Structure 1
Amino acid sequence: MIKDMKIACLLITHLGIKDEMRRRPDLVGRNIILYRPDSGARSAKTLGRSIKSVVFDVSSGVSGIPGGMPLSAALSKSPDSIVLQADLERYRKVFARIMSDLRRIAPAVQGAGLGKVFVDMTGLEYMYGGEAKVVTRMLETAPSLFHPRVGIAKGKFPAYVAALSSDPGRATKIPDNPTGTADFLASFPVDVLPVGWQMIMELHRFAIHTLGELAAQDLGNLQTRFGPGGRKSWELARGIDPDRVIELKKNDVVDEYVTLPFASASREVLFTAVDALLRRAYTRPGLKGKYALKFLLKCTVVGSTPWSREIVIKEAAASASAASFSIRSVLSDIELPGLIEDVALSVSGFMGEHGVQARAFTDVREQIQDRLNRLAKVDRHLQAKTGGRKSLYRVVEVDPIHPVPEMRFVQVPVDPLSVESVRSINMPEEVKVGESKGIPVSVALPGKGSVPVRARAVDMWKMDLWWMHRPVRRVYYVLKLDGSGPLTVFRDTLGERGLITEKHRETAVTGHRWYRQDY
């Protein structure tokens, strides 16, 4: 192992599950199964058989269901779980954004599969004023709901195992001494080794269950039985991993991505997302201080092929506001082909400042951009003082007459470096409601000791938006509470018997739940 080498592993387990929960807060706390088409689907289709689905991942509350298990078998073990098709392309884009943020911190960053990335930590503590500050910045590159964890060691594999042992939002460092790494690894199962499941099963069959037991084996016997994989596994079990973090060659393209809080065909939702992505892109080292000519937009469209549009502007844009103005001008009359769920932006066609003549006067867009930049600095100062991860947002009106309150406005972080993205506001909050013949008679509000308060219904209306991508069926009540003002609550009736069609069963959350909401 190379002397003085220090590697960190940022690990996000169940990234797909957590991304689904971030997009749909009603999934938090539910048992979820993500599935994907079987890798042999193409050959199966060729032979005229139906394509089977297998498990991609499951939430932490689901046990006994490994990845690759047929979906039908998984549902027999956990019939009450919510079943969703894994959106692997979106998960990769989300993880790519996290890796892009990590590259702001360290020059050498290497992905190693969805949710796992290695960072060369050598010398970073001197740049940021200590190792703890580097780790904090790394953890902040991922949304808090993703529960990232960090491991630090003198090799990739030990760093990964250290990350596995860390609590969410925390870091674990393996002691830096001759036997510290091997001693730390000894109690972990051989299942954490980066080898095929066949070799893992063989090791268990030979009563080799932990890394400590593997490290104690005779190397010659392991090589005879398992070949080069046996030697590699034996070295890893002893903490020997000389592989360095290899940074892939960068192209002259800056990529950004955001998941929308809800599917929408609104141009204003698209423009809001593009503005947020442009502000992030123009802070990237590859684009900062440069001009850009080409902008490629890609959106996932519900139930249709992806939509894309390449925009080449006449005057290269030196700022996010200038680029936004040009893109909005080109797309001012655009009609989206359907509901879009996300927005990906690729910026290219860079040129240095010397290639464009500077203007003598700043325009209104630059003044607005300057004001936003000052607010972003204030935001970072507040975060540093309060220890928070977010504080200031801009509220953007996207569809003020939409019947669903949480789809009328969105909030965008003032700081373009924030890990938070475009989010809904006025989201429903689950509450406990006492009923009498289906009518609310009491409600227990969060933060007030969950003590039920008597309530009287003074108004009621229903909402049945069956035609939406994710149907909305609610019964709203305005309640008059004892000792306080009116409160609006609704009962989610989508999951009630007979109301979920086969088409929407995959995206439905079954149950009988009450929520409060400012209508």
Structure 2
Amino acid sequence: MTNLAIACIVVPDFPLRIESVRHPELDGLPLALTDATAQRRLIVECLPEATAEGIRLGMTVRDAINACPRAVILSADPVYYASVFAEILDALLDVSPGIEQGEPGLAWIDLRGLERLYGGLEGVVERLLGAAPPALRPRLGLGANKFVAAVAARRARPGGYRLVPEVYSRAFLARNPVDVLPVSLEMIRRLERFGLYTLRDIARLPAGKLQAQFGPDGYRAWELANGIDSAPFRPLEPVEQVVERLALPAPTVQIDALLLGVRQLARRICARHAMRSRGARQARIQLLIEGQRSWERVVVFKGAIGDAERLAGLLAGRLAGLTVEGPVEEIALELSGLTTIYARQRQLFESDLRRRRQQDIDEVVDELKQRYSLSPLFSLTPVEPWSRIPERRWGLLARE
């Protein structure tokens, strides 16, 4: 396995592939997914069969049905997709300790030492492909760096692998279209408007011209087109998490019942031994909805939160105004970024007390903004104190 340092495993159209496995009768049909929790139901994922019928990302459901009456449009189930991907990552960690997580359905593997461990290249390939369920049709690419391995994986046949030795990396990349580059869609369109349709076209240009036109992304595109990928390998690190789940007595769509469940989960999770004298910097709240659907949001806190009531208030702000597509069967709460909370003693001096009170007010304002998306508190601010009209002398300024 000379000069093959990285492998990449990929499941194209990962959420849609999972839905095809859950519903075998949909395999081969123009399938698309929509985010049912958004204010406007837009297409967020679609198979090539659906694209060929005229369906595009960002299209409304009504327009998608008009473009392709036989299209099958399902509500996304992000919680289930994440659980399947987590199982794949766990299986890959059993093969190699060096795993880097990419977008859902994509991961890189450090190949150093695996050939001797599994008796050659075929053994390594078999173990890596076996980490994903065969029904998902995973593809494997092996190359000298992450970019070459990722492109090789996407060019492999379903359930197979593609090997690209380092000396052939540039020739292999040359015939690939520019949309394989990890850059924005706008830059891809600009490259095509300049007549640059393949990586060969980019590799022939001087690096300085691309950098002058596109900035750092242009220079990185030139490097990748020439088989140079300086991006470091970032292996997964163990993350301590605390998870609590609550199965509702009866499925419900009432927000008040969901808020009550969230408050109960916050109290239970903060009372656990793992949370003693500790707080979380991030929370993930998940709602499992009838009909194999789900909703989830990640909340990042400015500081560590260890108080149950404050945690419940911040999470309730994310649920306020939520329109649930169907009855919720289960609520899950996951805390991560755990850190120790040290006691803070109030100072005896009046200036310190005044500053502390201001900090308390700021925390309350932050919680209200989380809940209502704007600050409901205002301060009287002098505007034109000299004015004869009382309404012009003072103004209401929202507290931020």
Query: Which AA in structure 2 matches 1:181?
Result: S
2:196 aligned with 1:208: yes
Cα deviation, residue 26, structure 1: 2.6
User: Alignment partner for residue 108 of structure 2, among 115, 118, 121?
Assistant: 118
| Counterpart in the other structure of 1:67 | 57
Residues 109 and 342 of structure 1: is their aligned pair in 2 closer, same or farther, counting only changes over 3 Å? farther
Q: Secondary structure at the match of 1:96?
A: helix
| Structure 2 CA distance for aligned equivalents of residues 305 and 60 of structure 1 | 24
User: Alignment partner for residue 140 of structure 2, among 139, 147, 150?
Assistant: 150
| Counterpart in the other structure of 1:16 | 15
Cα deviation, residue 66, structure 1: 3.4
Q: Secondary structure at the match of 1:151?
A: strand
2:262 aligned with 1:248: no
Q: Secondary structure at the match of 1:13?
A: coil
- Tell me if the contact between 2:4 and 2:166 (Cα under 8 Å) persists in the aligned partners: no
| Counterpart in the other structure of 2:124 | 134
Q: Secondary structure at the match of 2:94?
A: coil
1:475-486 aligned within 5 A? none
| Structure 2 CA distance for aligned equivalents of residues 163 and 344 of structure 1 | 35
- Tell me if the contact between 1:119 and 1:245 (Cα under 8 Å) persists in the aligned partners: no
| Structure 1 CA distance for aligned equivalents of residues 14 and 294 of structure 2 | 25
Cα deviation, residue 230, structure 1: 0.3
Query: Which AA in structure 1 matches 2:11?
Result: I
| Structure 2 CA distance for aligned equivalents of residues 201 and 305 of structure 1 | 34
1:169-208 aligned within 5 A? 169-177=159-167, 180-208=168-196
- Tell me if the contact between 1:299 and 1:344 (Cα under 8 Å) persists in the aligned partners: no
| Counterpart in the other structure of 2:24 | 25
Q: Secondary structure at the match of 1:241?
A: coil
Q: May I ask how many residue pairs the two structures share in their alignment?
A: 272
Residues 5 and 305 of structure 1: is their aligned pair in 2 closer, same or farther, counting only changes over 3 Å? closer
Alpha-carbon RMSD across the aligned residues, in angstroms, is 3.8
| CA offset digits 1:333-370 (Å, max 9, x no partner) | xxxxx896999999xxxxxxxxxxxxxxxxxxxxxxxx
2:67 aligned with 1:77: yes
| Structure 2 CA distance for aligned equivalents of residues 124 and 134 of structure 1 | 6
Cα deviation, residue 143, structure 1: 1.4
Query: Which AA in structure 2 matches 1:36?
Result: D
- Tell me if the contact between 2:3 and 2:143 (Cα under 8 Å) persists in the aligned partners: no
| Structure 2 CA distance for aligned equivalents of residues 125 and 254 of structure 1 | 37
Cα deviation, residue 301, structure 1: 4.4
- Tell me if the contact between 1:10 and 1:116 (Cα under 8 Å) persists in the aligned partners: yes
- Tell me if the contact between 1:301 and 1:341 (Cα under 8 Å) persists in the aligned partners: yes
| Structure 2 CA distance for aligned equivalents of residues 125 and 299 of structure 1 | 43
Cα deviation, residue 67, structure 1: 2.6
| Structure 1 CA distance for aligned equivalents of residues 42 and 114 of structure 2 | 42
| Structure 1 CA distance for aligned equivalents of residues 40 and 294 of structure 2 | 22
Query: Which AA in structure 2 matches 1:190?
Result: V
- Tell me if the contact between 1:175 and 1:181 (Cα under 8 Å) persists in the aligned partners: yes
Q: Secondary structure at the match of 2:162?
A: strand
Q: Which has the higher helix share?
A: 2
2:90 aligned with 1:90: no
| Structure 2 CA distance for aligned equivalents of residues 167 and 250 of structure 1 | 33
1:335-354 aligned within 5 A? none
- Tell me if the contact between 2:36 and 2:76 (Cα under 8 Å) persists in the aligned partners: no
Residues 254 and 157 of structure 1: is their aligned pair in 2 closer, same or farther, counting only changes over 3 Å? farther
Query: Which AA in structure 2 matches 1:120?
Result: D
Cα deviation, residue 61, structure 1: 2.2
| Structure 2 CA distance for aligned equivalents of residues 305 and 169 of structure 1 | 29
| Structure 1 CA distance for aligned equivalents of residues 328 and 24 of structure 2 | 20
| Structure 1 CA distance for aligned equivalents of residues 89 and 67 of structure 2 | 36
Q: Secondary structure at the match of 1:247?
A: coil
1:341-490 aligned within 5 A? none
Cα deviation, residue 29, structure 1: 3.1
- Tell me if the contact between 2:3 and 2:165 (Cα under 8 Å) persists in the aligned partners: no
Q: Which has the higher strand share?
A: 1
Q: Secondary structure at the match of 2:81?
A: helix
Please give the TM-score of this superposition, normalised by the length of structure 2: 0.60
Residues 169 and 5 of structure 1: is their aligned pair in 2 closer, same or farther, counting only changes over 3 Å? closer
Residues 60 and 183 of structure 1: is their aligned pair in 2 closer, same or farther, counting only changes over 3 Å? same
Cα deviation, residue 204, structure 1: 0.2
| Structure 2 CA distance for aligned equivalents of residues 6 and 339 of structure 1 | 46
Query: Which AA in structure 2 matches 1:95?
Result: F
- Tell me if the contact between 1:8 and 1:152 (Cα under 8 Å) persists in the aligned partners: yes
| Structure 1 CA distance for aligned equivalents of residues 152 and 108 of structure 2 | 12
Q: Secondary structure at the match of 1:114?
A: coil
| Counterpart in the other structure of 1:52 | 40
Residues 117 and 22 of structure 1: is their aligned pair in 2 closer, same or farther, counting only changes over 3 Å? same
- Tell me if the contact between 2:31 and 2:71 (Cα under 8 Å) persists in the aligned partners: yes
Cα deviation, residue 91, structure 1: 1.0
| Structure 2 CA distance for aligned equivalents of residues 231 and 11 of structure 1 | 26
Instruction: Show structure 2 runs of 5+ residues with no match.
Output: 244-249, 251-272, 275-285, 296-326, 336-400
| Counterpart in the other structure of 2:362 | none
| Structure 1 CA distance for aligned equivalents of residues 42 and 289 of structure 2 | 24
2:220 aligned with 1:220: no
User: Alignment partner for residue 236 of structure 1, among 217, 224, 238?
Assistant: 224
